Amino acid sequence: MAQQRTRSLLLLLLLTLLGLGLVQPSYGQDRMYQRFLRQHVDPEETGGNDRYCNLMMQRRKMTTHQCKRFNTFIHEDIWNIRSICSTTNIQCKNGKMNCHEGNVAAVCNLLNIRKWSGRRRRKRKKKK
């Protein structure tokens, strides 16, 4: 009787650990997707000046631990962004074949960091 109970508990433990192992990867993928949305998607372009990058990166908590030197905000609905996977590549200005038509984006480049104030100045460039 005790041996049967021990086997049942071990089987339950094994199934629980197996279930946790299967759930973990999908949780990680969801976190990566949410991070992508937070860092790169702004469907409603909220500004037209150079302060846009600083404001958006601060609002989305991208400047707290380290200075991110480059970031792109895509000004499209997430469903339009996802449809890129089914469109054909076109040649980019740099000659590579990984560009797609139809996305408007703001490219943010770090210009300088003021050491004592912690302020970051970024240049916003509109890309289509």
The string of pLDDT tens digits covering residues 4-51 is 777 776 666 555 655 555 555 566 678 888 888 888 888 876 666 667
Determine the structural domain holding residue 94 and report its residue range.
Answer: 2-127
Structural domain total, the chain: 1
> Are the beta carbons of 93 and 58 closer than 8 angstroms?
no
Q: Using a CB cutoff of 8 Å and minimum separation of 24, what contacts does 28-31 make?
A: none
**CATH number, domain with residue 21:** 3.10.130.10
At 88 the three-state DSSP class reads coil
CA distance 28 to 41: 19
Look at 56 and 104; give whichever has higher pLDDT.
Answer: 56
Encoded tokens for 98: 């990984």
For 65-108, write each residue's pLDDT tens digit: 777 777 888 888 888 877 777 777 777 777 776 666 655 777 77
pLDDT at position 103 is 59
